[in-house]
Amino acid sequence: MSKVYRKITQIVGNVIAVEADHVLYNELAEVSGAAGKSLAQVIRMKDRKVYLQVFAGSSGISTEDEVRFLGHEMQISGSEDLLGRIFNGCGEPRDGRSPITDDMINIGGPSVNPSRRTIPRKMIRTGIPMIDVFNTLVESQKLPIFSVAGEPYNPLLARIALQAEVDVIILGGMGLKYDDYLYFRNTLEQAGALSRVVMFIHTAADPVVECLMVPDMALAVAESYALGGKRVLVLLSDMTNFADALKEIAITMEQIPANRGYPGDLYSQLASRYEKAVDFERAGSITILTATTMPGDDITHPIPDNTGYITEGQFYLRRGRIEPFGSLSRLKQNVNGDTRRDHRAIMDAMIRLYAEFKNTCEKQSMGFAMSEWDNKLLSYGGQFESKLMDLSVNIPLEKALDLGWRILADCFRPEEVGIKTEIIKEFWPETRK
């Protein structure tokens, strides 16, 4: 017994207002008229006036259009039949096959009780030294790739997804370029992974509001799989488009913007998505990797800034490399104590020296004479960049650590690298110097 109303009193941006009774906050509605049908969601109620954001956009909506309230929130099927399927931002099939309606679950469900979470302790091996050695990725981690347009962040996401040993990959595309969508699809297909992938794709050509649902749908499905014991990796690209859609709705609703037009609850909005990353005791896990393009390569922009405070680290992708500065995996300590005894020592020492190398580069570029120490650093920095930082390098962690020692021994004397004598004695390669 759905309620139908025909009195649309306001159309502003992608938000309409209708006079209605017995409506529930956050409920879904269907708006239909000459311009077609679209889903809409209740975002504010005041007396009899109900405001709805229209997913397909307000263009063509008439004041006489029919608004039918569905009596429930946005739902998605949590069934395993979703594997191998592709959906749009409203959860409708994009692959021309039939819709799936069994096992419907609400999206954006409650958060996990912190007392039931466990400390993540399983390393995800990627074969990328800048990740495995310096910023180890851990199962159930939430981590964005901070980048700018033009950088290969989507290929990097795809590569990590394929190299990580997970049961299910869920891809949420927001404002994804059509080419990028095809790239993901083809890459996953070629790797024979499509049967364990679910895609929610909102492309740049689709109505903006539609992308708001993508993270919640992807994560609701992930949660349902993880509770069933699956290790799920969720890829979301690009979270900046999601945040921009939030901004658009907030401005339309005349909310007071906090920073550069973004709503004051941007942090909470992003956090409620990222915090879905979890390792369930005696069940599966959700790991979240996202791409966040930084407008103007500005790390202090509200989107990367708020994201950085929420996520458990970040990878900076710049000039095709994962930058050692700024990149961070907050969970690495949970796993890098159990890999190899020298892991932490190498990790810290090499970055500290690389920082000194950067200072030397600055000096060099100003034309100063290079001291003996400067020359050592220059040789070190060059080797570090070509042998470890280059993204084409694909070696297991242990090989990468050995390589690290070789580079150090090639450039420095043992007391120059700032590592505990005890570790030096055990690992310093004998053959050189």
SS3 42: strand
Figure out which of the listed residues 144, 312, 380, 388 binds other proteins, where binding follows CB under 8 A. 312
Do the beta carbons of residue 97 and residue 85 sit within 8 Å? yes
Nearer to other proteins, 410 or 416 (CB): 416
- Out of 220, 236, 331, 335, point to the residue binding other proteins (CB under 8 A): 331
Nearer to other proteins, 191 or 361 (CB): 361
Read off the amino acid at residue 68: R
Q: How far is the CB of 195 from other proteins (least distance, A)?
A: 28
**Cβ count near 192 (within 10 Å):** 9
Nearest-approach distance from CB 229 to other proteins, in angstroms: 13
The only residue of 191, 267, 361, 391 in contact with other proteins, by rule CB under 8 A = 267
Nearer to other proteins, 24 or 204 (CB): 24
Scan for tokens 């690389």, then name that residue: 354
207, 284, 302, 381: which one binds other proteins (CB under 8 A) = 302
Residue number with CB closer to other proteins (96 or 254)? 254
Using the minimum distance from each CB to other proteins, give the nearer residue, 385 or 416: 416
Closest to 287 (Cα-Cα) out of 232, 330, 334:
232
Separation CA 431–CA 410 (nearest Å) = 10
CB atoms within 10 A of CB 428: 18
Residues 371-430 that bind other proteins (CB under 8 A): 371-374, 415-416, 418, 420-421
**Which lies closer to other proteins via its Cβ, residue 35 or residue 70?**
70
Q: Report 117-136 residues binding other proteins (CB under 8 A).
A: 117-120
Q: Looking at residues 225 to 254 of the shown chain, list those that interact with other proteins (rule: CB under 8 A).
A: 227
Instruction: Please compute, for residue 373, the number of CA atoms within 13 A of its CA located in the half-sphere on the CB side.
Output: 11
Q: Which of 137, 176, 271, 322 binds other proteins (CB under 8 A)?
A: 271
Report the alpha-carbon distance of residue 135 to residue 323 in Å, rounded: 11
For position 432 contacting other proteins by CB under 8 A, the verdict is no
Question: In whole angstroms, how close is the CB of 155 to other proteins at the nearest point?
Answer: 25
Say how many residues touch other proteins, by CB under 8 A: 80
Closest CA to 290 of 376, 214, 366, 227: 214
Interface with other proteins (CB under 8 A), residue from 256, 319, 392, 430: 256
Rounded Cα distance, 87 and 218, in Å: 10
Residue of 259, 379, 385, 402 interacting with other proteins (CB under 8 A): 259
Asked whether 174 and 214 are in contact (CB, 8 A), the reply is yes
The residues in 52-111 that bind other proteins, with binding defined as CB under 8 A, are 73, 109-111
| Torsion over CA: 113, 114, 117, 123 (sign) | positive
Determine the residue type at 395: I
* 175/363 Cα distance (integer angstroms): 43
Helix pair angle (214-227, 239-252), 10° resolution: 120
Quick one: 184 or 354, whose CB is closer to other proteins?
354
Residues 10-29, mask of contacts with other proteins (x by CB under 8 A): -----------xxxxxxx--
- Contact residue for other proteins among 1, 2, 34, 47 (CB under 8 A): 47
Report residue 30: phi and psi, to 5°: -115, 125
Least distance from C-beta 54 to other proteins, angstroms?
18
Query: 338 to 357, contacts with other proteins by CB under 8 A?
Result: 344, 348, 351-352, 355
**Contacts (Cβ under 8 Å, ≥6 apart) of 178:** 203, 204, 205
Residue 312 CB contacts under 8 Å (≥ 6 apart), including other chains: 138, 141, 142, 143, 277, 329, 330, 331
Q: Which stretch binds other proteins (CB under 8 A): 45-53, 79-87, 123-131, 387-395?
A: 45-53
Residue 357 burial (C-beta neighbours within 10 Å; 0-12, 13-18, 19+): buried
Min dist. Cβ of residue 416 to other proteins (A): 5
- Considering only residues 165, 362, 398, 426, which one is a binding residue for other proteins as defined by CB under 8 A? 362
**Separation CA 71–CA 29 (nearest Å):** 8
Cβ proximity to other proteins: between 62 and 375 the closer is: 375
